A and B are shown apart, each in its own frame.
Chain A
Amino acid sequence: MKKSWLLIVVLVFSLVLTACGGKQESSQGAGKDKSLVVYTNSASDGRGDWLKEKAAEQGFDIKIVEAGGGDIRNKLIAEKANPIADVVYGLNEMNYIALKNEDVLEPFTPVWANEVEEGTSDSEGYYHSLVKQAILLIYNSDLYTQETTASDWPELWENKAFHGLYEVPTNLGGDTTRTVIASILVRYQDPNGKLGISDKGWKEIKKFFDNGTPATEATPFYANLANGTTPFGQMFSSGIQQREQEYGVKAGIVSPEIGVPYVTEQIAVVKGTKKKEGAEEFINWFGSAKVQAEWAKAFNSMPTNLEAAKSANPEVKTLHESVKKQDMDWEFITENIDAWIEKITLEIQ
């Protein structure tokens, strides 16, 4: 009678194992299979549904797996021996450089490769840019004007009047946060310094954290911007419009001399996909001027495709025309950003 217990145990495990068995059938043949698994960090707010619907009109059957940029990158690297994804889009260049270095991407030149802004895609063709995003320092324009606002990040900690009035990130995992930190640190690039940054640079970033108000999960930054608790802080350009409506506050944009960091969101084929042709066809379609123009209109993005950029929403265009791009060495940043974050977490924050 005890055998029935054994039976149950065996049954449980075999159940688990059979549940594990169901995968491989869909992937037979290297032919043009148009059912694709797409990894992205940019599918919320209806973007994913929009993409699925439009892609379906072209005969694609898209399954979207969404998570934060860092999570998607780590997942792709972990799965590289036997990838699940066919295409990855939306992550910023830092993540794509890491993916390329980890041998996760397959080089491919889309038909629209020449239509995008120069220098925004990978020179070796591993990934290609779709949209660009400015990472901005913004302020509450009811409380400050262009004259009274801080003119650049360092002024926030150099000028006592701004101490405690800007939000500093507590969770350093987000891509926006990492970009802001990188944009401050690269100003002090020094091959002899710790992790490529001079002592002065580390002192500055310490002052940045010491004199700011740490973000809390309980209150979103925009709420604190609106009520004046922290009228200064970081924001990615495409997030401004929606939040302005929601909180009824107009954001002023700081346009520093040195420029603002621009991140470009990319698209690439995942190495080892069994649907290479389908993936390539999808990229050809999604990155095309026509589709990117529609995407820009629907979601306030700024395409890097020069033709599509013309159809971007006027407010978005104005915003992007008002700021200059900061010159940043992304290869250098990608190589060091993880170590920087580790150092900041251990010693500074």
Chain B
Amino acid sequence: MQIQNKYKLKNKLYIFAIGIVLSWACIAFLIYPNINLLITTFFQDGGFTLEPFEKLMSSERAMRSLWNSFILAVALVITVNLVGLFLVFIMGYFEIKGMKFLRFGYYSTLIYGGIVLVAGYQFIYGDVGIITNLLLSIFPNMNPNWFEGFWAVLFVMTFSSTSNYVIFLLNALLKVDYQTIEAARNMGATNFQIIRKVILPVLKPTIFALTILQFIGGLGAFAAPQIVGGEFKTITPMILTFSGIVSSRDLAALLAIFLGLASMILLAIMTKVESKGNYMSVSKVKTNLVKQQINNRFANIIVHMMAYVLFVLYTLPVVLIFLFSFTDSKAITTGKLTWDSFTLENYMTVFTDASAYQPFLVSIIYSALTAVIVVGLILYIARLIQKYNNKWTAMLEYILHIPWMLPSVLLAMGLIITYSVPNTMMFHKVLTGTLGILLIGYIIVQLPFVLRMLKASFYSIDTSLEEAAKNLGASNLRTFFKVLLPIILPSALALVALTFNSTLDEYNLSMFLSHPFYQPLGITIQNSTSPESLQDTRALTFVYTVLLMVISSIVLYLVYGRGTKAGK
């Protein structure tokens, strides 16, 4: 710290300027519009009452759904950590034959999600699914709807969330210094002891960050409970119903804030636990990880078998979605593939319109801008938080989590209500009807996720590297670009790709904030696949999913696939 003394005055000015810009941005985009919305929501009948609380408390259905969401969130944290850690170790630590190929399967849920992903699982386990038919031929008396309820939801969600988990944890694993492993081995440690005492401590910050994300993902579960949940209902569908009804928005906001607060409490607990033990890789000259052979023959066979079974579990839904995108609605709902049902018609429908390419272009540009800006911004902010770590940065961190507290429909409403008239906060510029407001919306919703993941990356950096750079006379900027950035680059690039992919088909914000001349893809998809359109649009949903998969895969390859090589 002393070394910074001479910069002090300059530094103060700079900090002051940054402080002003950040405060303005936080207030203008995160605090003010939402407070504005909450006021109009909760005070719509003139005064604040406890009525919405009472309504929810006395609704058995709401309380049960809320409880289910929490159960799911906790269960998901456990299962995703188990499956995720297993995958990370077979991908990055143990020698598994064919891993180069297998890993594409494990990453498959990075390129698709939502309703279609669950539909993919239904082709396998649903009442007309492949596995169900197989089981029925052996046990003719079994219930064809066996894949339903809590366990089905947990199963689908576990597999659909692990790709995300793996991508970040693998980055963390690659940071483990191999010398520490060798040293442990020389002292006679077993594989199990090495994993527990040497590797896991290094992974801990990332595991914590991912655990919070899984918890929030579980609380926000939507598609899986809707489709395979049966009687197991969660709270998000109810929140969405209520946010679409003006007079019920108070209920939606209340439920969302409650879920948000629960996530923040978990976050606070995690941060506390994290600060107790600071486990960093202590080596100065890091040696790259070398893959380990599993010595026990029996264990080796079991692990290989599990790796291949998991591969099949991950890959089958994607393959089936791809195949069914070339069929008609009837084939999709009966789950039967015949040669006659194959057609190119669905793809023709999507592309016959002369302006069909425009939404793709608009969404690609918006998503790219969102991804780059949000990751750039958070890189900077996460660095501020890590470097200064005082009450201001703590406050900043909490403010950046506000988007987790409200459903995106309400975030959009807040922005429209506040900035559809000239407002001092925005220098009297009207934002509605502009191109910028959608970008702002997209950026806002991505802030918490990107912040969590980048912060975890920063914490796994050995601080002595930074000190060494400074001692050698490198400026802050140089230290950042030459020393720190290369270390977190894989995670940052992964975040760029993931943010891009999740923005690509976003609907709620797009619907409310987009410019009438430049409407993004989410709107096109929603409209052409809505249940109220004249024709049945089941097949089109699949076509769009496949097209999105293609774009997402290309982006993942360009940004991440090549990025990791450069980053190493």
Interface size band for B: 35 or more
A:232-267 near B, CB below 8 Å: 236, 238-239, 242-243, 246-248
A345 CA to B328 CA, complexed, in Å: 34
A306 interface hit (Cβ, 8 Å): no
* A175, A219, A339, most chain B CB atoms within 10 A: A219
Chain B 242-279 residues near chain A, CB threshold 8 A: 242, 244-248, 251
Q: Is B305 an interface residue (CB 8 A)?
A: no
**A residues in contact with B62, CB < 8 Å:** 346
Determine how close the nearest CB of chain B comes to the CB of A104; give it in whole angstroms: 12
Instruction: Please name all residues of chain A whose beta carbon is closer than 8 Å to the beta carbon of B430 when the two chains form the complex.
Output: 23-24, 82
A216 and B226 form a contact (CB under 8 A): yes
Is B516 positioned at the interface, with any CB of A under 8 Å from its CB?
A: yes
For B472, the chain A residues whose CB sits under 8 A away are: none
Query: A297 in the interface, Cβ–Cβ < 8 Å?
Result: no
* Bound-state Cα–Cα, A346 to B64, Å: 11
A84 partner residues in chain B, CB cutoff 8 A: 432-433, 516
Q: Is A20 within 8 A of B516, CB to CB?
A: no
Interface residues as binary, B312-343 with A (CB distance below 8 Å gives 1, 0 otherwise): 00000000000000001110011000000000
Q: Does B554 contact A (CB under 8 A)?
A: no
A12: which of B14, B228, B240, B373 is its contact (CB, 8 Å)? Answer: B373
Is A196 interfacial (CB-CB < 8 Å)?
no
A125 contacts the other chain (Cβ, under 8 Å)? no
In whole angstroms, what is the CA distance A349 to B65 when docked? 12
Which chain B residues in 382-425 approach chain A with CB under 8 Å? 413, 416-417, 420-421
A76 to B436, CA, bound (A): 19
On whether the beta carbons of B242 and A342 are closer than 8 Å, the reply is: yes
Instruction: Report which of A85, A220, A349 forms a contact with B531, defined as CB distance below 8 A.
Output: A220
Interface pair B511/A349, CB less than 8 Å apart:
no
User: Quick one: CB contact mask for A98-126 with B, threshold 8 Å, 1 for yes?
Assistant: 00000000000000000000000000000
Beta-carbon contact of A338 and B532 below 8 Å = no
Chain A interface size band reads 35 or more
Instruction: Mark each residue of chain A from 4 to 44: 1 if its CB lies under 8 Å from any CB of chain B, else 0.
Output: 11101110110011111111100000000000010001011
Q: Contact: B516 with A63, CB < 8 Å? A: yes
Q: Known interface pairs A12-B377, A347-B61. Does A247 touch B536 (Cβ–Cβ under 8 Å)?
A: yes
Distance in angstroms between the alpha carbons of A224 and B533 in the assembled complex: 18
Q: Least Cβ distance of A81 to chain B in Å?
A: 5
CB contact under 8 A between A246 and B227, given known A1-B475, A9-B21, A22-B435: no
The 5 A-B residue pairs with the shortest CB-CB distance in the complex, in nearest-first order: A20-B436, A223-B333, A19-B436, A346-B59, A44-B533
Whether A71 lies near B25 (C-beta < 8 A) is no
Q: State the CA gap A20–B523 with chains docked (Å).
A: 21
Instruction: From B73-81, B100-108, B118-126, give the one contacting chain A.
Output: B118-126
Closest CB-CB distance, B53 to chain A, in whole Å?
13
Q: Which residues of A contact B241 (CB under 8 A)?
A: 171-173, 341, 345
Q: In the assembled complex, which residues on chain A have CB atoms less than 8 Å from the CB atom of B238? A: 345
Q: Can you name 27 A-B residue pairings with CB atoms under 8 Å? A: A1-B478, A2-B476, A13-B21, A19-B434, A20-B436, A23-B433, A41-B532, A43-B527, A44-B527, A44-B533, A45-B534, A45-B535, A63-B516, A65-B523, A67-B526, A70-B245, A71-B511, A74-B246, A78-B416, A78-B417, A226-B330, A227-B333, A246-B328, A247-B329, A299-B534, A339-B247, A341-B248
- CB of B107, distance to nearest CB on chain A (Å): 25
Instruction: Name which residue of chain A comes closest to B249, CB basis.
Output: A74
Instruction: Assess whether A170 is interfacial by the CB under 8 Å rule.
Output: yes
B61 adjacent to A346 (CB under 8 Å) = yes
Which of chain A's residues have a CB closer than 8 A to the CB of B532?
41, 68, 174-176, 236, 239
Q: Which of B1-17 contact A (CB under 8 A)?
A: 10-11, 14, 17
Interchain CA distance A18-B427 in the complex, whole Å: 12
* From A45, A174, A349, contact of B61 by CB (8 A): A349
